[in-house]
Amino acid sequence: MQVETTDIDGHRIRFARQSTTPPVRPLILFNGIGASLELMAPLARAMEEEGISTITFDVPGVGGSATPLLPYRLGRLAALAERLLRQLDIEGPVDALGVSWGGALAQQFAHQYPERCRRLVLAATTAGALMVPGRLSALVKMVNPRRYTDRNFMQKIAGDLYGGRLRHDGALLREYSRHIAPPSGRGYLWQILALAGWTSALWLRRLKQPTLILMGRDDPIVPLINGQILAALIPNSRLLSIDDGHLFLLSRMTEIVPIIRDFLVRDAGEGAEPAADRTLNAHSPNPG
């Protein structure tokens, strides 16, 4: 990716583009808690191979973006994303994809800037404060930023924390760890506080964007029922459950990226193909 920095509202923000030419309608990627843009690099490359350019950025206090003195809310981060698009001379609507914590930010972006967001992809995420919580043991491990700084600790907890293939695939865990850059302690805390008390449940029914919801069936952090709640609240949505854990975008990338591509390039007049819960199983690249 082409990695750069810019100044937005007096803060240094690090961002990356997979294409050096500003695309007509790129896909903006919102990352998970504590995760720098390097974790999105494999997905960004895979999307580019499918003809879709991407933009992602480190939220304040993560990766190469400066840590603010005071905490922030998701609305401020959505505004930052919109300002970044304007600084890159990207006019008109873009598509948005958010993972886990970043899925909440993607919902906020779509709600706050409906004219800016054409289609929405939500992966392993929730409606916020009204979520059905995951396993307590996994949540305790998740709030500990040590997983980003101590690879031995990550190896011990990854299976119980993320579920799915990371329970037994050491090579996949090493690939995931290779892209990790630790956040600052205060930056990690600010991300936790940004989501405290936030919920999208009050306005999800007003979202106009066709929405693809992707959830892992073996996700200790965000149980599948949270995706079912999102699908029930978002009018023009489709839910696809994946036979994997929280990091299915990494572990099942070759199977999931074409599904995302097909959803994003669908004709503007077509919706998200609302349907009952569909499953992408471990033995077939096609939705069952």
Query: Which pLDDT belongs to residue 280?
Result: 63
Query: Which pLDDT belongs to residue 282?
Result: 42
Question: Could you give the C-alpha distances from 202 to 17, 97, 108, 206, in angstroms and in order?
Answer: 33, 21, 12, 9
Q: Determine the 3-state secondary structure of 117 from DSSP.
A: strand
CB distance 278 to 285 below 8 Å: no
> Distance between CA atoms of 126 and 225, rounded to whole angstroms?
9
Query: Which pLDDT belongs to residue 238?
Result: 96
- In terms of residue numbers, what domain contains 174? 2-280
Which pLDDT tens digit goes with each residue over 149-203?
Answer: 777 777 778 778 888 888 888 777 777 776 666 677 898 899 999 999 999 999 9
Domain count, the chain: 1
Count the residues in the chain: 288
Query: Which pLDDT belongs to residue 174?
Result: 76
Of 36, 53, 100, 251, which one is the catalytic site residue?
Answer: 100
Task: Classify residue 114 by burial, with Cβ atoms within 10 Å: 0-12, 13-18, 19+.
Answer: middle
CB distance 199 to 130 below 8 Å: yes
The answer to whether residue 287 is domain-embedded is no
The answer to whether residue 272 is domain-embedded is yes
Query: Which pLDDT belongs to residue 275?
Result: 42
The answer to whether residue 288 is domain-embedded is no
What's the gap between Cα 145 and its chain centre? Answer: 18
Query: Which pLDDT belongs to residue 200?
Result: 97
Q: Which residues of the chain have pLDDT under 70?
A: 20-24, 143-145, 178-182, 267-288
Q: Two tokens at 285?
A: 């690249």
Q: Two tokens at 218?
A: 């073996």
Shortest CA distance to 55 belongs to which of 91, 88, 12, 80? 88
**Is 251 designated active site?**
no
Return the CATH number at 38. 3.40.50.1820
Query: Which pLDDT belongs to residue 270?
Result: 57
Handedness of CA 81, 82, 84, 90 (dihedral sign): positive
DSSP for residue 209: S
DSSP for residue 58: P
